[in-house]
Amino acid sequence: MPNNVVTLHEKPAVSFDLAKIRADFPILSRQVHGKPLVYLDNGASAQKPKQVLDAISKAYTETYANVHRGVHFLSDASTVAFEKARETCRRFVNAQKIEEIIFTKGGTEGINLVAASFGSTLAEGDEILITEMEHHSNIVPWHFLRERQGVVLRWTPITNDGGFDLAAFSKLLNSKTKFVAVTHMSNVLGTITPLNEIIRLAHEVGAKVLVDGCQGSVHLPVNVQALDCDFYVTTGHKLYGPSGIGFLYGKYDFLETLRPYHGGGEMIETVTKDKVSYAPPPHRFEAGTPPIVRAIGLGAGLDYMTSLDRAAVTAHESALLAHATEELENIDRVKIFGRAPEKGSLVTFAIEGIHPHDISMLLDRSGIAVRAGTHCAQPLMERLGVTASTRASFALYNTHAEVDALVSSIRTVVEFFG
């Protein structure tokens, strides 16, 4: 079985202690509008366990100083903690070298970095192949190259069930395709893309591949060496870490050939009045004081995730998805978008005649947080023939009772609008 496949009907392993996990997340015990919080907006951002909150507090109270440049105790301690977080990120995606991990502000910055650095090597007429199911973060930076450099943007369609159309993709690849940028898991359809085949086919025509792992890395183990992708991007706030931090993986030999993204301190080797030389990766791509404590918090989030039985977590999240799907499709006027056989734990839907913003507002009154809108995926909304939709996205701490609360509130919404 490919390493990125989720089976929907696996049963959670006994080692998965949901009550203990929920107790790790202080916010989950709060009330909203006088009702217990049911947080189903994890695809937008996940809540933080106390292990992450403690790591952030400890970094500020015990080891905080700027990194890399100081010759004093705290700077040393801070540098050690910061670089330890980089090593945790390396392990999380199984990169070969720690130098292949570049800290960024998040998924968006990782993709913009690649578009600016690698993109500067592209010429008019070169082609970039993306897909109809990308988040704007993995569309707009490539549009910049279309607007500014005459690069041609091509779109792999989705299949009618919201899957990745591998046959169409392989037809679109040609000798002009210099780059493929593809999501690991759609933030709207939940579709998990066949990365092994995509990357192999792209490499056959000499194209480099970036994987947007902002959703995929939350739910699936990532092995960049096995995938053989050239870049893998992810973001901390969905991985139970802080917002404003993420990382970009890039193959070292390739990173070494790329221009820097931002200029400033830390990323240079020498600067004179008439020339500048650059530090090797990853520092070449990390100008200025980095997000030190956020990186430490991200490391703690990843440590938290890997301290759990990830197969059991995947099975639990898949069971939540199966439960939600089964219940929602039994409600009249509800239409679910995204029925690909390999799907991560989110469900996006429309209710005929009811605007998604009204749905989410009414659910909010019951303490249920979902997301309504275009989900930063306007080309996909256009393909689906809707202006907006509602999304419930599940995390490792959600329960079947919370899915039941969602379903029951949706039934009430449908009755309310008649």
Ligand X SMILES: Cc1ncc(COP(=O)(O)O)c(C=O)c1O
Query: Mask of contacts with ligand X, 56-85, x by CB under 6 A?
Result: ------------------------------
The answer to whether residue 219 forms part of the interface with ligand X (CB under 6 A) is: no
Stretches 25-33, 69-77, 131-139, 324-332: which one binds ligand X (CB under 6 A)? Answer: 131-139
The answer to whether residue 235 forms part of the interface with ligand X (CB under 6 A) is: yes
Q: Is the peptide bond before 282 cis (omega within 30 degrees of 0)?
A: yes
Q: In the annotation, is 376 catalytic?
A: yes
Q: Site residues for ligand X, window 241-300 (CB under 6 A)? A: 246
Stretches 58-66, 211-219, 270-278, 393-401: which one binds ligand X (CB under 6 A)? Answer: 211-219
Q: Which two tokens stand for residue 202?
A: 């792209």
The answer to whether residue 389 forms part of the interface with ligand X (CB under 6 A) is: no
Give how far the C-alpha of residue 244 lies from the chain's centroid of Cα atoms, to the nearest Å: 13
CA distance 83 to 98: 9
The answer to whether residue 212 forms part of the interface with ligand X (CB under 6 A) is: yes
The answer to whether residue 132 forms part of the interface with ligand X (CB under 6 A) is: no
The answer to whether residue 183 forms part of the interface with ligand X (CB under 6 A) is: yes
User: Catalytic residue among 89, 214, 229, 376, which?
Assistant: 376
Q: Using an 8 Å Cβ cutoff, are 345 and 219 in contact?
A: yes
Q: How far is the CB of 187 from ligand X (least distance, A)?
A: 3
For 136, the 3-state DSSP assignment is helix
The answer to whether residue 409 forms part of the interface with ligand X (CB under 6 A) is: no
Q: Which two tokens stand for residue 209?
A: 């591949």
| Cα three-residue angle 36-367-332, rounded to 5 degrees | 120
Among 48, 90, 135, 284, binds ligand X (CB under 6 A): 135
Closest CA to 42 of 235, 323, 182, 260: 235
Among 215, 360, 389, 398, binds ligand X (CB under 6 A): 215
CA distance 189 to 200: 24
The answer to whether residue 137 forms part of the interface with ligand X (CB under 6 A) is: yes
Among 214, 302, 350, 372, binds ligand X (CB under 6 A): 214
**Which is nearer to ligand X, 106 or 119 (by Cβ)?**
106
CA distance 233 to 55: 23
Segments of 352-393 assigned E as strands: 368-369, 371-373, 389-393
Phi, psi of 250 (to 5 degrees): -140, 145
Q: How far is the CB of 291 from ligand X (least distance, A)?
A: 13
The answer to whether residue 108 forms part of the interface with ligand X (CB under 6 A) is: yes
Provide the angle, in degrees to the nearest 10, between the axes of the packed helices 292-307 and 50-58: 150
**CA dihedral of 191, 155, 122, 267, whole degrees rounded to 10:** -30
Give the catalytic positions in this structure. Answer: 376
Residues within the interface to ligand X (CB under 6 A): 106-108, 135, 137-138, 183, 187, 212, 214-215, 235, 237, 246
